[in-house]
Structure 1
Amino acid sequence: MSDRSGPGTAPRPEDTARALLPLVGGAANVTSVANCISRLRLGLADRSRVRDADVRALPGVLGVVEDDTYQVVVGPQAVNAVAAAFGRLVEEKGGGETGQAGQTDTAEELAERGAAIRAANKRRNATPFKLFLRRIANIFVPLIPALIACGIIAGVTGLLRNLGWMEGALPALTAISSGFMSLITVFVGMNAAKEFGGTPVLGGAVAAIIPFAGVADVQVFGTALSPGQGGVLGALGAAVLCAYVERRVRRHMPGTLDVLLTPTIAVLVAGLATVFGLMLAAGALSEAIGAGADWLLGTAGAFAGLVLGGLFLPLVMLGLHQALIPIHTTLIDLEGYTTLLPILSMAGAGQVGAALAVYRRLRHDAGIRATVRSALPAGLLGVGEPLIYGVTLPLGRPFITACAGGAVGGAFVGLMGQLWATTGSTAIGPSGWALFPLVQGSAGIGPAVAVYGGGLVVGYIAGFVLTALFGFPKGAVQAAEAVEEAVAPGSTPG
């Protein structure tokens, strides 16, 4: 049975932080503290000082993920408070605690060991594909809050327009919701240039060519360009090229001329390449992505939904889902919504159903049931990590049946898109119930909401039934319950 903490109140964030610090090598071993939606992300000088087994067993910790940082999964409800408390402890203790008795390394020795370990970890994780995904995430993830905000406002605006309400306010709401999307290429360009070692504002400058209305006066191979042609993919290519040219020019430019000529040459070269090549190529690629998505969901919607919904949880675990961000953004730019996100969201529905089945079947495992209760609200809102690392993945089979439940839900959404109405999201980021304000589709908001809601219900049911039937080894639950009952107070051993 699980060794998770039993029923009762969750540990206080301060207690979790205080218990965690010595397990990761003490304050002297911590080089940075940050957090995302559910993980505490720690930069460590010496990875060998971490006591992994003790970290994983710590009450309040749902799992550990290793990447370029050491990531401790504590869940969305606790992560901000734990990160703040942990950061305060590191500042208070400074470099005086090593976390292991008898070690008195100097700062220089610790820095040397940390540098060597970081270099080894970097070599191990620096495959071209992992680096590509990390860079894609660094470029697009910072844009997600604005995409969510503008997407929700756009959805509300569309609903008001359909109902004929507040017509005087609609132009203002439209401007608020559309302004960011009209200039998203500039933000992509700035982030891309920064990520590839260039000056952010120069990347934004060449990316700004794409939405500029004046490109309609430019003839390329006898055809006029269209403002926005190439979209975020064109902006990405333009900014990366600009950063490359800037770095190369700066190496050979005398210092007295660098401030004048380097940015000028970089913008000119990358700008000409954007106007006379990248906009055409990226525009063709964007149109191919849109046509491919329409064809896939229009002709093989159920099968496509089955595959996408079933594979998304493993993609999230491996970090491969970041590669889909440019595709989502391109579809939103082309069609106003991405049809892939509602299908992928069904993976979370399958996991919620699987967790409910685990809760029902393991009724004598107080630790697992407490974890399900605490993680389920986040799962319903589309934050799946607490359920992944706290419930389904540690149990093994329930993770597989959760993926199968997501596949069934994805197949339902895909089939409805094929037979009735496609369903999409006007922004990326949320899923689960949190996606409802962003839902849009080919037949309007009403059918889209109905299809998406129906998919969630199907995913919940499929995940629950498949886990109840196939999520546990035959006889294992009954044997575990018999042991629990045999040692329970008041029972009579036989």
Structure 2
Amino acid sequence: MATDKNRATAAAILPLVGGAQNVTSIAHCMTRLRLSLADRSLVDDEALKALPAVMGVVEDDTYQIVLGPGTVARVTPEFEALVEEARSAEPTAAPEHVLTADELAAQGAEIRAARKAKNSTPFKLFLRRIANIFVPLIPALIGCGIIAGINGLLINLEWLPGITPALAAIASGFMALIAVFVGYNTAKEFGGTPILGGAVAAIIVFPGVANIEAFGQKLSPGQGGVLGALGAAVLATYIEKWCRRWVPEALDVLVTPTITVLLSGLVTIFGLMFLAGEVSTGIGTAANWLLDNTGAFAGLVLGGLFLPLVMLGLHQALIPIHTTLIEQQGFTVLLPILAMAGAGQVGCAIAVYKRLKHNKSIRTTIKSALPAGFLGVGEPLIYGVSLPLGRPFITACVGGAAGGAFIGFFSMIGEKVGSTAIGPSGWALFPLLDGNKGLGLTIAIYGGGLLVGYVVGFFATYFFGFSKQMLVDLNADVDAGESVVARGEAAPSAPTPVEGDDGKERQPAAV
């Protein structure tokens, strides 16, 4: 049974991350189980990577275990249940005092703080907060996007005319109120009362704002969109915190919510809606102008630089832009171009597989990670193959640039390709595709871009991804689970370890 399989996966992971007492918080995103750990040194990275269900591990502000879309949502509840069961089964007192849970947590907190300090710049922390606001919305965006695509297909085929209005309502309801959800998550992320953030953001989509004039023009329901909602909720959070400091406790329950909603609501109506509306319009205009006038070049740059942006954590800045474009135009024209980075990564991995015919370890990693790579989950290939090798990471970016240029070229000649939701990539993006010239042509252009990314990524890596010395050293007959270093064979130039974006030291390949 699937439940037994998911529970078995969770049971296999738990001891390898140090047991229940070492886990201080549990969460998950689209593909990763995210754990806060008291003591990072208790984790067995290699054993985790060897588990069949684990595609890779990433260390950032949390310890992230890549399980893939769908799987992570099923394994996480089982993992949480096992942690609770293990904690409840532990005796209330230990016969010997070795180290208390609080002491262990304190030590772990110090270790995490030291690691995070290396990589926690204010800008990156801000981007993480933005991502924390929008990432929880992705499942609804995907579900509604797919329903919208199905509905559009039925309308074009003139099938089930009695059902299509209902499907349109189902697909559009969430998008009509997305500002409320953004406001709720924003207040929660910035330390305010979530429902107050949602209440202030709801003003933006209230039909009655059409009777209000600001900056010499009538407001429109939805004006400012998700950016206005984000700004309104942040303002509400700061006003609420100010009120908590000055309002007497006996009056807090009445005065604080009233002042928070009133002041932030007035600023939203007579300032933020207009300003955020202008910014949102500018984003849509800029994206369309960029692809209409410099499509191939813009696609080349965006597709080629997306993997480095992901490595630096800067890709999170694009999430509000994608959401704004979807809200305005029904789809984001940027995501299909950025998805080409994954295609270049897949082509690169296949080339590595072909070139390193005798390295069973790397070939085993590629065989297990490629299916996820085709579906747009690139972390296993990035962290397990291309990035550690060095040169192949660059040639993977070349493949992404070529695929991006292909889609950008068609956008430049008027054939726009977009996605109705964010999150999926690779083949998983096909059900979410939309465009301005019909679904068939949109699918063909996106599929062509993937093919270009695969082919260019493959040939760029095959011919330029390895030096002669790398091929000699990496083509040794290495069994799965064993590496050249493990066998005591040093790299030719003994390069100095470099610190990656996640604070971990990596040994770059000789290039």
Please give the secondary structure, in 1, of the residue aligned with 2:418: strand
Cα separation, 2, equivalents of 1:90 and 1:173: 40
Structure 1 counterpart of 2:33, from 21, 36, 40: 40
Q: Given the alignment of the two structures, is residue 413 of structure 1 paired with residue 407 of structure 2, yes or no?
A: yes
Out of 294, 298, 319, the residue aligned to residue 300 of structure 1 is 294
Q: Is the 8 A contact 2:49 2:57 kept in 1?
A: no
Following superposition, the deviation at residue 117 of structure 1 comes to: 3.3
User: Using the alignment, how far apart are the partners of 2:457 and 2:157 within structure 1?
Assistant: 37
Write the deviation string for residues 131-150 of structure 1: whole angstroms up to 9, x where unpaired: 21111111100100110111
Question: 1:424 touches 1:439 (CA, 8 Å); kept in 2?
Answer: yes
Q: What residue is the counterpart of 2:155 in the other structure?
A: 161
Whole-Å separation in 1 of the counterparts to 2:405 and 2:186: 35
User: Equivalent residue of 1:167, what SS?
Assistant: coil
1:230 aligns with 2:217: no
TM-score in terms of structure 1 length: 0.87
Q: CA–CA distance in 2 between the matches of 1:309 and 1:280? A: 33
**Residue 424 of structure 1 contacts residue 441 of structure 1 at CA under 8 Å; is this kept in 2?**
yes
Aligned equivalents of 2:255 and 2:409: distance in 1? 57
SS at match of 1:65: strand
Greater shift in the superposed pair: 106-115 or 195-204: 106-115
Q: Does residue 141 in structure 1 map to residue 135 in structure 2?
A: yes
Per mean C-alpha deviation after superposition, the further-off stretch among 75-84 and 435-444 is 75-84
Provide the C-alpha distance between the structure 1 equivalents of 2:70 and 2:218, rounded to a whole number of angstroms.
52
Cα deviation 1:276-323 (Å, max 9, x = unaligned) = 000110000001101100111011111110111011112222322111
Pair 1:275-2:269 in alignment: yes
Q: Which amino acid aligns with 2:406?
A: F
Number of the residue aligned with 1:71: 64
Measured against aligned partners, the alpha-carbon deviations of 1:409-440 in whole angstroms (never above 9, x if no partner) come to: 00010011102401111111111111111111
The Cα of 1:80 is off from its aligned counterpart by 6.2
2:65 partner amino acid: V
Q: Give the counterpart letter for 2:446 in structure 1.
A: Y
Aligned length: 469
Query: CA distance change for structure 1 residues 126 and 373 in 2, over 3 Å: closer, same or farther?
Result: closer
**1:252 equivalent in alignment to 2:243:** no
- For structure 1, the residue ranges without an aligned partner over 5 or more in a row are 1-11, 486-494
1: CA distance, partners of 2:249 / 2:478: 76
Given that residues 349 and 385 in structure 2 are in contact (C-alpha distance below 8 angstroms), is that contact kept between their aligned partners in structure 1? Answer: yes
What letter is aligned with 1:424? G
Query: Is the 8 Å Cα contact of residues 75 and 385 (structure 1) preserved in structure 2?
Result: no
The whole-number CA distance in structure 1 between the counterparts of 2:317 and 2:217 is: 32
The answer for the alignment partner of 1:446 in structure 2 is 440
Q: 1:180 corresponds to which residue?
A: 174
Query: Which residue of 347, 359, 370 corresponds with 1:365?
Result: 359
| In structure 2, distance between residues paired with 1:270 and 1:479 | 63
Aligned to 1:316: 310
Counterpart CA distance in 2 for 1:59 and 1:472 is 29
| 1:55-93 C-alpha deviation (Å, 9 max, x unpaired) | 577555654422221223455587567756765664565
Alignment of 1:19-418 (within 5 A): 24-47=17-40, 49-50=41-42, 54=46, 58=50, 63-73=56-66, 90-91=83-84, 93-94=86-87, 104-121=98-115, 123-418=117-412
- Taking the aligned partners of 1:201 and 1:232, their CA distance within structure 2 comes to 16
When the two chains are superposed, the root-mean-square deviation of aligned CA atoms in Å is 2.8
Could you tell me how far 1:327 is from its partner in structure 2?
0.2
For 1:356 and 1:54, how far apart are their aligned partners in 2? 23
Do 2:204 and 2:224's aligned partners in 1 also have CA atoms closer than 8 Å?
A: yes
Q: 1:429 to 1:14 in 2, by over 3 A?
A: closer
> 1:30 is aligned with what amino acid?
V
The answer for the alignment partner of 1:7 in structure 2 is none
Q: Is the 8 A contact 1:308 1:407 kept in 2?
A: yes
Letter in 1 for 2:399: G
Question: 2-side partners of 1:361 and 1:428: how far apart?
Answer: 34
SS of 2:98's equivalent?
coil
Amino acid corresponding to residue 158 of structure 1 in structure 2: G
CA drift at 1:266: 0.5
- What is the percentage of aligned positions where both structures have the same residue? 66
Contact kept? 2:132, 2:189, Cα under 8 Å: yes
TM-score, normalised via structure 2 length: 0.84
The answer as to whether partners of 2:179 and 2:225 remain within 8 angstroms in 1 is yes
1:46–1:117: 8 Å Cα contact kept in structure 2? yes
CA displacement at 1:120 relative to structure 2: 3.8
Higher mean displacement: 74-83 or 232-241: 74-83
2:55 touches 2:369 (CA, 8 Å); kept in 1? no
Instruction: Specify the SS of the correspondent of 1:43.
Output: strand
Alpha-carbon distance in structure 2 between the residues aligned to 1:57 and 1:154: 38
Contact 2:205 2:221 in 1 (8 A): yes
After superposition, the C-alpha distances for 1:342-392 in whole angstroms (9 at most, x for unaligned) are: 000001111111111122222222222222222111111111112112222
Give the structure 2 partner of residue 492 of structure 1: none
Q: 1:194 to 1:37 in 2, by over 3 A?
A: closer
Amino acid at match of 1:372: I
| Distance verdict in 2 for CA 1:76–1:238, change over 3 Å | closer
Change (3 A) 1:13 1:401: farther
Query: Per-residue deviation at 1:221?
Result: 3.0
Contact 2:359 2:476 in 1 (8 A): no
| Separation of aligned partners in 2, 1:57 and 1:241 | 43
**Structure 2: gaps (5+ residues):** 480-511
CA distance in 2, matches of 1:208, 1:34: 27
What is the letter of the counterpart of residue 117 of structure 1?
I
Whole-angstrom distance in 2 between the partners of 1:370 and 1:277: 57
What is residue 471 of structure 2 aligned with on the other side? 477
Cα 1:180–1:472 shift into 2, 3 Å: same
Q: Classify 1:108/1:59 alpha carbon distance in 2 versus 1 (closer, same or farther; 3 Å).
A: closer
| 2:57/2:66 contact within 8 Å kept | yes
The 8 Å contact of residues 151 and 177 in structure 1, kept in 2 or not, is answered as: yes
Single out whichever of 372-381 and 333-342 deviates more from structure 2.
372-381
Instruction: Call closer, same or farther: CA 1:302–1:270 in 2, change over 3 Å.
Output: same
Q: Distance in 2 between matches of 1:33 and 1:188?
A: 22
Cα distance in 2, alignment partners of residues 220 and 194 from structure 1: 29
Cross-structure match for 2:509:
none
